[in-house]
Every structure is written in structure tokens, then in C-alpha cells.
Structure 1
Amino acid sequence: MKTLQQALLLFMLAPLVKSAPPIQQESINIYDYETEDGQLFKQHFEDNPQGANVNKKTTAIIDILFQRDEGATKLPPSTNDVDLPTCLLCVCLSGSVYCEEMNIDTVPPLPKETAYFYARFNKIKKITAKDFEDFPTLKRIDLTGNQIEEIEDGAFSKLLILDQLILAENKLVKIPALPSKLTVFNANSNKIKSKGIKANAFKKLNNLSYLYLAENELESVPQNLPESLRILHLQANNITSITDDTFCKSNNTRYVREQMTQIRLEENPVILGKYPNSFTCLKSLPTGAYF
């Protein structure tokens, strides 16, 4: 009897109970918002919350699923913002900083441990005394292809272990004071005249091996070249004459410049054949016009 009463009660209540819609079973994919699929998936729920049958609570849950760990690495902002920290704007790797073709017009702040700095083909116009004052670890600076017209006094004075300084393809009219440990100095393709080089600019650079001053406006060979010099490029200048003391020592006929292996003087108006005593100390003759 009791069972019959329960069955009758269910029969009477059945019309009052609205059948629930069938539950659609879908596979669940967890997407990362930083990926393309994740962005499309998130946009689907944001733009079509009703069509997706997602209420506010569900949307919140989805956001939690997509939320990245706060400690995770974030993608760097656009490099169009020149005020960004240097290692977001440029590339920093094991003591090297690469800021090539970034349209920067000043030397950016560098990490303290920077040893090699490359900022080629930018729009830098001036090197100030403060740009490198706190970076004693610098060994190489390459500023090729900028618009540098001025270098303040002492700009490189604190770079005690700087080995290579590359200033080619700029607009320099004079050579700054150079660090004593320099082995390579390249100022090719500038506007440097002889008056822009002090008489003792290279004399105390006892490690200087490679000096590149081609395609400038020099009227004479720089004076007091160090004994350590091996390669000297002076082609395509306005050099008109050479003296017996330019490379050798007129008062010492036994003197030999042991290290010098290459001197390039082609594309200058000087006729080298007029100065036969100027090359007696050299192991090989300079390249250039002799007639």
C-alpha cells in the first residue's frame, strides 16, 4: 500500500517538474592567454557570453584558469618606447649589450657588468663625459654608423681596460683623448683634419696595434706613432707630403720599425717616390702612388 501511495504521488507531481535540458559534454582545453589560441578563446567568452551560456561566475572561473603566475616572465613591451630599461630595449647577453639599429640618439644606461657595447647604426650625436664614467669593465665600444659630432673631454678617461674603440662612419672633426690600453682604434669615414689630432695623441698608447683613419680629411700622417703599431690605414685622405721622421728616425740609420707590417696611403695626392729616405726603417713599402 505504501509503495502504491508513493507511485501515485510521483504521477501527480510529474507535470509540475520541468525537464532540464540535456547537458552538452565538451572537452575542456586550458589555454594560455599569451598564446594565439588562448586570446581567441578568451575573446569568444568576452564577446558572446550569452551564446556560450556562461554566467559571470563561470567567466570568473575561466579568468582564474587563464591567470598566469605573477612570477612568470612577461613579454617585453614594444621597443618603440626609448625610455624602457636598456635590457628590454636592447639585447643583454653575458656582459654584452647590443643596441644596433634602435633609433636611439643618446648612449643608454648600461648594466654595471657591461664589457662589450654595440650601438651601431643609430642616431647618437654626442658622447658625454658621463656616458661611460661608471663602467670600468668595458673592453669594447662600437658606435659605427651614428651621427657623432662631439665627444666631451674625458669621455673615455675612466675606461682603464678598454681594448677596442670603433667610431667609424660618424661626423667627427677631431680625435678625443684615448685610453692607454687601447689596441684598436677605428675612426674611418669621418671628417677629421690634421689639426684635429694632437701631436701626442698616440704617443703613449704602447699597446696600439691597429689604427684606422681612412676616408678623412688629413693633410699629413699623424705624428709620434707608437712602436707597437702594426697596421696603419690612411687611404683616401688629403696627405701631400711625408718627412724622414714620419715613420723612421733621420738621426738613426740603424733604426728598424719592427712591428709595422702594413701602411696604406693610396688615394692621397702624395707621390711616395719623392721621399725615398722616409721608408728605410720599414720592412715593406707603403701602398700608394710612387710616380
Structure 2
Amino acid sequence: MDVLMRLLALALILAPQGLCQYEGYDYDTDYEPDPDVPYRPPIHSHHSVDYNVPSIPFSTECARECYCPPSSIATMYCDHRKLKTVPQIPSRIQQLYLQHNEIEAVNIKSFINATSLREINFSHNKLKSNKIDTGVFATSPHLHQIILNNNDLEEIPSPISSSVERIFLGANKINKVREQDLQGLVNVTMLDLCNNYIDNIKGKALSKLTKLMQLNICNNKLHSMPAGLPASLMYLSLENNSISKIPDDYFAKLPNLTAIRMSHNKIGEVPLYMFNLPKLMELNLGHNKLKRIFYVPRSLEHLYLQDNEFETINITLMCPVMDQTQRLTYLRLDQNRLKGPISTLAFLCFPHVQSIYYGEQKRSAGDNQVHVIPPYPPPEEPRYGDDDDDDDFPQYHREEHGPIVEEEDEDDDFHDYY
């Protein structure tokens, strides 16, 4: 009995420990991590962080006249709303769209808090130069792009923030460019002044734009080439002006030019080596008064000379030395006074040429005939007679192997395959 009582007492003592054996269980000490899987700390994702712009605290503030989408808290859409004044701009806004309204004046009070702006679009309004507060576009230190085309501006608004890279001022009423207009714009890479009334660019107003790569002054009233272009320039557009002469050494300090567009001017002659530029790929001198051809640089790929006064094309001047590195692939010569194709020497000088377009030529004095010169390459003629029923046949086989001659008793499977 004594033994039985002792066993019962021992069972009562051990029972609570058995029931609570998992309390305070240390899993980390009993199970080692898988040695084949390296430890990785937890990743905390921040979906709204933009590492390219200053961090802006979240805010739901938005001008009541506009729309700020929840998915893009830094953007404010105020376009196509018949606005006549600029609404107050919250400090968080980076992209401001005000195009297609009826705004005439820009008050600096609207931009007093707009220190984070990166892009402003004021196109298709009624902006007037005398109603834009001085310095209104210089308040934001992060502004990269400003679009002011299709307004009633008579001058370039200044000053503009030195951080700006692209300025669009096309389709206004600007008639001159003063030196102070572009003062301090050391980061501008693109300037668009097309479709204005510019007849004068004062001094070297463009020379301090040391990062400028694209300059558009098409459809204006220039009578001379703009002075002091920076060496960084890659694309120059001067179409539809009244320029009659290019100074002899004008492009000597512009080695990075890849495209020059000067069609629809009054240029009568250019020096022989005017366009001898190492990177020039496109040259458009169509619709001028040129009579004498010039040297074609090795890098040039597209040359447009339509609607000039060429009677002959001297290949020796274009290409004094035959060189397999010549890259010209396209030449346009329609609406000149040519009476026949250029010399076949052209195909030796320009081994990569793919197309020479002659089109119709102008009538010369006393000539009643309009000359039509066959194009190069000539159009392909049918090679298989009038009944060419094998349109579905692979083109590469036609050109390399000629027409199929069908044989009734041989290899039917071969014909079925094609």
C-alpha cells in the first residue's frame, strides 16, 4: 500500500509538467536554419519614392479648378477648362498642365509656393508679354521644361530658371531675340522659336547656351545666319526664312552638327567645302537658288537639293577622291534644270547610294519640254511575262534562281512545298 501511495504522489507531481511542456518553447534553439538558404533581412518596400526628385510630403491639396489624380500626387491638370487666371499652385506639384485655356496674365502670387515644379505647359492660351510678372518662371529651382507655344507673346519672358533644359516658344509674335532674354540659361539643350516674326538676333545672344543641342528658328524672317552658335549644337533648323548667304567659315566651329535644315530660303551659292563636317548626316538645301554643287562629306547620308537651279551635277566636286567610306544613301534632285542623269561615276564615289530621285525638271529658257529623268534605281519590270501567276512564290527564289520550270513527271513534292 505504501508503494502504491508513493507512485500516485509521483504521478501527481509530474502531471502538470507534462501538460505544460511547450510553454516557453524556444524554436530558434531547437531548429537550426537551412544551411543552403542564406539569411535575407526583411525587405521594406516604399512604392512612392522617386529618387530623381526631392521628396515631397503627401498632401491631398489641389486647386478646386483643376484635377490631381490620386495615382500621381505631383501632377495637376488644369487644361481645357476655359480658365482666365492661373490657380494657386500647391508646393508638392511638379507637373502643371494649363494648356488650351484663355489665360492672358501670369501673376507671381500663383507661383509663390510652387518650388517643386519641373514642367509647365502654357501652350494654346492668350499670354501677353506685358502681363507676365518679371521672374515668375524663375521661382522654381527644379524647373526642366517650359512650354509657351501658341500664345501672343511679343518677347521671350525673362528671367527663366537656370535649371531649365527645354524651352518651347513656337507660334507666338516674337520679333527679336535680345541678349538678356537668354541670360543665365546654362542648362538649355533645346530651344524652339519656330513660327514667329524674328528678323534679328542681337549680338551673340545664343553663344552662352553652352549645352544647346537643338535650335529651331524655322518659319521666321531672318535675312542672315544667327551669330555665335555654341559648339555643342547638333541640330539646326532654319527653314522658311529669307537667308541669302552663309558666311564662308560659318560652320567651322560647329563640329558636332548632325543635321542642317535650310530649305525655303534664298541661298544662291555656298563655298565648296562649306559642309565638310565630321558628323553631318542630313543636309536639306531644297527650295533655294543654288547653281553650283559642293563637296559632300563622308558622313552625309541624306542630301536634299530639290527645287534649285542646277543644270549639271559635277561628281568630281562632290567626290574628288573615291572612298568606300562615303555613306550617302539618298539624293533628291527633282525640280532643277537637269536634262539627264548624273554621271555613273556617282555610283563609284558613293557605293552605298540606294536612291536618286530626279522627278520632273523645270523648263529652261526656250525649252518647251519638261524633262522627266528616270529614277535610280529603276522600277522593277515583270520578269515572267504577262501571265505571272506565281505571286505567292518566295521573292528571294525569284531573284536568285529565276522562274520555275515545271516538269510534269518529276518531284511533285518539291513543287507542293513551295
Greater fraction of residues in helix: 1
TM superposition shift of 1:241: 1.5
Q: Is the 8 A contact 1:133 1:156 kept in 2?
A: no
The letter of the residue matching 1:96 is Q
Q: Is the 8 A contact 2:240 2:265 kept in 1?
A: yes
**TM-score normalised by L of structure 1:** 0.64
- 1:202-241 map, 5 Å: 202-221=251-270, 223-225=273-275, 226-241=277-292
Paired with 2:284 and 2:259, the residues of 1 have a C-alpha distance of: 8
Q: Is the 8 A contact 2:144 2:164 kept in 1?
A: yes
Among 92, 95, 104, the alignment partner of 1:80 is: 104
TM superposition shift of 1:201: 0.9
Paired with 1:86 and 1:95, the residues of 2 have a C-alpha distance of: 19
CA 1:276 to 1:104, structure 2 compared with 1: closer, same or farther past 3 Å? same
TM superposition shift of 1:71: 9.4
Paired with 1:160 and 1:88, the residues of 2 have a C-alpha distance of: 24
> Which of 1 and 2 has higher RCO (CA within 8 Å, sep 6+)?
1
The letter of the residue matching 2:304 is R
Q: Is the 8 A contact 2:132 2:157 kept in 1?
A: no
- 1:1-291 map, 5 Å: 79-81=103-105, 82=128, 83-85=131-133, 94-109=143-158, 110-177=160-227, 178-194=229-245, 197-221=246-270, 223-225=273-275, 226-242=277-293, 246-247=294-295, 257-273=297-313, 275-280=314-319, 282-284=326-328, 286-288=331-333, 289=336, 290-291=338-339
The letter of the residue matching 2:223 is V
The letter of the residue matching 1:210 is A
SS in 2 for 1:131: helix
Q: Is the 8 A contact 2:186 2:208 kept in 1?
A: yes
CA 1:71 to 1:138, structure 2 compared with 1: closer, same or farther past 3 Å? closer
Paired with 1:97 and 1:191, the residues of 2 have a C-alpha distance of: 29
> What number of residue pairs does the alignment pair up?
211
CA 1:79 to 1:204, structure 2 compared with 1: closer, same or farther past 3 Å? same
SS in 1 for 2:316: helix
**TM-score normalised by L of structure 2:** 0.46
Say what the alpha-carbon RMSD is for the aligned residues: 3.2
Percent identity, aligned pairs only, is 22
Q: Is the 8 A contact 2:291 2:308 kept in 1?
A: yes
Measured against aligned partners, the alpha-carbon deviations of 1:25-60 in whole angstroms (never above 9, x if no partner) come to xxxxxxxx957xxxxxxxxxxxxxxxxxxxxxxxxx
